[in-house]
Amino acid sequence: MARGGSGAASVSTDSNTSEGTIRKVDKENQKITIRHGELKNLDMPPMTMVFRVQDPAFVEAVNVGDEVKFVAEKLEGKFTVTHVEKKN
């Protein structure tokens, strides 16, 4: 995806929203593994990595293989999913 995009009719919060696929759900430790695209707000290239979840409900809301839109932030030094929703 192109960075910037002046004049694009997109929601302003989209710059913090990333897309990915759930690869693993660790309910016991409240962690999910996501193969994600570029995380613009964290200046991170696409990769597969483990995130903490801010809300324990997140690990119940997603399943392996789900395509999701999510927001990741660095909280207390740890990469944390602060929002997640299924794309479909």
Report strand pairing: 78-86 vs 47-53: parallel
Rounded CA-CA distance 79/48 in Å is 13
The only residue of 33, 49, 50, 73 in contact with Cu ion, by rule CB under 5 A: 49
CB of residue 9 vs Cu ion: minimum separation in angstroms? 28
**44 touches Cu ion (CB under 5 A):** yes
Instruction: Please name which of 65, 24, 67, 74 lies closest in space to residue 44, comparing C-alpha atoms.
Output: 74
CB of residue 7 vs Cu ion: minimum separation in angstroms? 29
Q: Which residues of this chain interact with Cu ion, rule CB under 5 A?
A: 44, 47, 49
